[in-house]
Structure formats: C-alpha cells, structure tokens
C-alpha cells in the first residue's frame, strides 16, 4: 500500500528540513518528501487525487519527524521474560515513538557470542514491532575478565559493545576493547562506575542519603571511570561512548575531552534532567536508578551539556523490572525504571523550557544516535525505511504506569502531566496509531 502523510510540519535534521509538507511512502520505504513551497511541481501532488490504493493521513497541526532511536534499552530477553520481552519492549518502544532500539547484553545468557546475537535478531524479526539492534558484551558473561567474541558478534549484527550494568574494571581489557572498536569501527559504550567507590551504594551521596540512612554513591564513582575511559580512548584512538551521564563533573570531563579532539560521544537519560535525588524521599524504589539521581546543580550542567553539544544523544536506559522486585526494601530493590513510554514527553520539556530547539531535540533522538552507531536510520531521506513519527506537540496527558505497554510499571513519573505525545508511529510502512 502507498501512503501519504499530508500537511504536517516536517523536521528532519539529517536533511536540514524544517517546514510544511507531505511525505510519500511506497513499499515500506520513503518515496519523497515534498515541501509545500516547492511541491507544486512534484509528482506527489498529482498522485494524491486519483489513486484508490493511496492511504492519506492528515497531519495538519502535527510534527512529522524520523522515528526515534533509543541507543540504550534493556529488553530482558532471553532469560528475564517476566520483566520484559522483545515483543512487549518493542511495542512499548513504538508507543513511545521509537522505531529503533539497541538492546544491552545483560540477558541470561549474556549476549557475549554470536548465537545469542542471532537469537535476539531472529526473535525480533518474528515478534518485534521495531528495529532491534543488539549490543554485544565486551567481556565473557560480563565478568570483566576475558574479551567476548567481538569480531563474530560484529559480523552477526552487533552495532556496539558494552558491559552495561557493570563497568569494565580492568583497564587493560578496556584498552583492548577500544583497540578492537577501532578495527571494527564500532563504539564501545562505557557504563562508567568505579565499583570500589559505589559498592553497596543505593542513591546519590549527600545530605539526603545521610538523613535517610542509605549508603551513598559519590559522583566520583562515575567521573573517575569516565576520565579513565577518555584517556584510554585517546591512547588507542578507539571510539568511546559514555552511557547515562548524570553529573556536572562528567559533563565537564566530556566537554574538555571533546575540545582536545578525543573520539568520545555521550548520552544522558530523561530522568537525569528531570529529577533530583529528592525523588528518593520516602524510600521510593521507583527512583532507584544507576547511576543515581543527583542534584539540581547536576541537572543544570546536563542541560548545558545538551545545549552546547557535549551530550550528543538522549537515550532511555529503559530497565523494566517486575513490580514485586520494586516492592522490596530500598536497599535490596533492583536499579532501573521503565523509560520508553515517558521519554518523548519528558524530553519535550527541554523544548518547552527553552533549553533546546525542537530541531536540536529531534537531532539528539534520531540523527545523532544514528551517526554514533553508523546505522542507516534516523532520517527521512528517500529510499530509506519508512520509520516515521507523528507527534501532537500540544496533546497533554498524565503518566499512568498502569497504561504502559511495557511489563515494567516502575516509573518515578507517575501522575506527571506531560505535553507532547506520539499520535502515529510508522515502522517500515506499518502504522501504529494512538
């Protein structure tokens, strides 16, 4: 079926497009982007009137952008299907406006060899609702001891490597991983955490951790590892990507490294620019994330980093858990929240607050992750997969975890009023409407 999305405000940073127009889709691919000023001569205008096979979607008053890319999710399959599956996780992704998700390897078994990678890809092609790009482990079983089969996993389709959830404590192994990343032209994603400093910590170290009697994680636990990994990236020339940046010091380290020309990119997550450690008050396990929520000062620094380009991408670190697990005491509850279905609404607050332009925000959720991962996504160029998102910027809604498609109902944003919501997500021409 041929489809046209008409009369929307099209924003595609990859082509510098920002204006009213129509998008034509044929056989699951983008056929043409016809901007209104120049569309009087386009074939598209004539096609619309008399083609009975053409489905017309009216996008008047709506924003049309490339489908979002989330370079950091945990789909939990294989091994933890009670938390999430590839089917439920990708459906949640599509609901949140994402058409590509990259899944971290901390499954059971760990994605540390080509057979697990192959399993994930096969499951995704059978049951997935969007593109699933696997991230392979850096070390076998993510134990930090021996390098995993990076080359064969790369050939099987892994687009990056990370031990996310765990740091690579051994500096020599991280050095080797970065050397590999250079030869395979893939990023190594650093979960930056010095375990000797963070050990047993459950929230940010500060006044609130003291008053609550909880063990704190100092910002240095993150920053020391970021600094080490930047130095190793500079030593090797490998491509380093810093996951879930949460502190002012981290932003400064990355900014300085970029100024020196280091091969480093970075992401943050909506919760790190939306919430402070105050959210933990009352021992709220739905605010337990790793790295932990920090302070207002850190939020300001992260916003500044997003604005000046120090932080390239916004990812969710979608980390769903079963409700019972989050019902435990704060100390023993697992880290992580369900992020796919709140990410866009929370990120649009940056635009509403004037931190980013809408185009900059879209860049950080489409073009930039595509560039970091070197994937042919995040663009509305003719010939590419018709991965498209239509957003109603004005639509207000209240976050209710019960309405999440994700199996993970754990969110610190319950009851928040957000503005801006996906109304239609298209993945390879397939339409999901909300």
Tell me which residues are annotated as active site.
317
**Which of residues 161 and 427 has its CB atom nearest to Zn ion in the complex?**
161
Phi and psi, residue 188, nearest 5°: -100, 125
Distance CA 420, CA 279 (A): 23
User: Which x/- pattern over 150-179 shows residues binding Zn ion (rule: CB under 5 A)?
Assistant: --------------x---------------
Q: What is the DSSP letter of 41?
A: G
- DSSP class of residue 355 equals S
Helices 114-127 and 86-96: crossing angle in degrees, nearest 10, is: 60
How many other CB atoms sit within 10 Å of the CB of residue 35? 14
Nearest approach in angstroms of CB 141 to Zn ion is: 17
CB under 5 A: which stretch of 109-117, 124-132, 183-191, 296-304 binds Zn ion?
183-191
Binding-site size, Zn ion (CB under 5 A): 2
Strands (DSSP E) contained in 234-353 are 240-242, 264-268, 313-314
Q: Residue 217: which region, alpha, beta or left (left: phi > 0; alpha: psi -120 to 50)?
A: beta
Residue 72 touching Zn ion (CB under 5 A): no
Select 54 or 195, whichever has its Cβ closest to Zn ion. 195
Distance CA 7, CA 317 (A): 34
Q: Please say whether the beta carbons of 25 and 407 come within 8 A.
A: no
Q: Which of 154, 175, 191, 241 binds Zn ion (CB under 5 A)?
A: 191
Comparison of 54 and 197: residue with beta carbon closer to Zn ion: 197
**DSSP designation for 15:** G
Q: How far is the CB of 57 from Zn ion (least distance, A)?
A: 38
Taking the complex as a whole, the smallest distance from the CB of residue 69 to Zn ion amounts, in Å, to 18
25 versus 264: smaller Cβ distance to Zn ion? 264
Question: If 0-12 CB within 10 Å is exposed, 13-18 middle and 19+ buried, where does residue 304 land?
Answer: middle
User: Which of the stretches 42-50, 189-197, 272-280, 365-373 binds Zn ion when contact is defined by CB under 5 A?
Assistant: 189-197
- On whether the CB atoms of residues 282 and 331 are closer than 8 A, the answer is no
- Contact assessment for residue 347 and residue 419, using Cβ atoms and an 8 Å cutoff: no
Phi, psi of 5 (to 5 degrees): -105, 115
- Which one of 30-38, 143-151, 190-198, 222-230 is the stretch in contact with Zn ion (CB under 5 A)? 190-198
Residues 120-139 that bind Zn ion (CB under 5 A): none
Answer whether 221's CB lies under 8 Å from 273's CB: no
Q: Least distance from C-beta 160 to Zn ion, angstroms?
A: 13
Shortest distance (Å) from residue 217 CB to Zn ion: 13
Shortest CB 203 distance to Zn ion, Å: 16
Nearer to Zn ion by Cβ, of 191 and 321: the residue is 191
Exposed, middle or buried, 2 (CB in 10 Å: 0-12/13-18/19+)? middle
| Of residues 191 and 326, the one with the C-beta less far from Zn ion | 191
- From the list 191-199, 307-315, 338-346, 362-370, the region that binds Zn ion by CB under 5 A is 191-199
CB of 290 to Zn ion, least distance (A): 6
Task: Report CA 71 to chain centroid distance, whole Å.
Answer: 4
The helix/strand/coil state of 320 is: coil
Which region among 63-71, 184-192, 368-376, 407-415 touches Zn ion (by CB under 5 A)?
A: 184-192
- Closest to Zn ion by CB, 335 vs 432, is 335
Taking the least distance from each CB to Zn ion, the nearer of 32 and 164 is 164
Phi and psi at 106, nearest 5°, equal: -80, 60
Indicate the residue whose CB is closest to Zn ion.
191
Binding mask 30-69 for Zn ion (x = CB under 5 A): ----------------------------------------
Torsion of CA 410, 411, 416, 422, to 10 degrees: -90
Please state the closest distance from residue 318 (CB atom) to Zn ion, in A: 11
Interacting residues toward Zn ion by CB under 5 A: 164, 191
């Amino acid at each position: 079926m041929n489809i046209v999305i008409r009369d929307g405000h099209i924003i595609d940073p990859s082509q510098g497009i920002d204006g009213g127009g129509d998008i034509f889709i044929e056989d699951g691919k983008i056929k043409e982007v016809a901007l209104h000023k120049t569309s009087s001569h386009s074939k598209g205008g004539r096609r619309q009137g008399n083609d009975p096979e053409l489905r017309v979607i009216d996008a008047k008053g709506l924003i049309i952008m490339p489908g979002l890319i989330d370079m950091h999710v945990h789909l939990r399959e294989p091994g933890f299907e009670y938390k999430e599956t590839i089917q439920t996780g990708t459906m949640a992704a599509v609901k949140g406006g994402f058409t590509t998700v990259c899944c971290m390897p901390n499954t059971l078994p760990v994605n540390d060899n080509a057979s697990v990678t192959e399993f994930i890809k096969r499951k995704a092609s059978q049951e997935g609702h969007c593109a699933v790009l696997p991230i392979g482990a850096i070390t076998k079983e993510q134990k930090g001891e021996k390098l995993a089969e990076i080359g064969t996993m790369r050939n099987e389709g892994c687009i990056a490597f990370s031990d996310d959830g765990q740091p690579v404590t051994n500096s020599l192994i991280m050095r080797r991983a970065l050397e590999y990343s250079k030869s395979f032209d893939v990023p190594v994603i650093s979960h930056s955490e010095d375990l000797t400093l963070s050990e047993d910590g459950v929230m940010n170290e500060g006044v609130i951790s003291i008053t609550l009697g909880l063990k704190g994680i100092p910002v240095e636990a993150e920053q020391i590892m970021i600094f080490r990994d930047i130095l190793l990236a500079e030593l090797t020339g490998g491509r380093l990507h810093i996951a879930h940046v949460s502190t002012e010091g981290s932003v400064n380290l990355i900014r300085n490294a970029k100024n020196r020309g280091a091969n480093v990119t970075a992401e943050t997550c909506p919760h790190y620019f939306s919430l402070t450690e105050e959210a933990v008050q009352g021992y709220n396990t739905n605010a337990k994330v790793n790295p932990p929520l920090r302070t207002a000062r850190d939020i300001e620094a992260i916003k500044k980093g997003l604005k000046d380009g120090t932080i390239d991408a916004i990812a969710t670190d979608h980390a769903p858990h079963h409700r019972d697990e989050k019902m435990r005491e704060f100390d023993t509850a697992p880290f992580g929240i369900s992020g796919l279905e709140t990410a866009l609404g929370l990120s649009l607050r940056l635009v509403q607050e004037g931190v980013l332009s809408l185009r900059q925000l879209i860049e950080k959720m489409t073009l930039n992750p595509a560039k970091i991962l070197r994937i042919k996504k995040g663009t509305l160029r003719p010939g590419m997969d018709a991965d498209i998102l239509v957003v109603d910027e004005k639509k207000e809604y209240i976050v209710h975890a019960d309405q999440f498609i994700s199996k993970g109902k754990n969110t610190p944003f319950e009851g928040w009023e957000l503005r801006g919501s996906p109304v239609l997500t298209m993945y390879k021409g397939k339409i999901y409407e909300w």
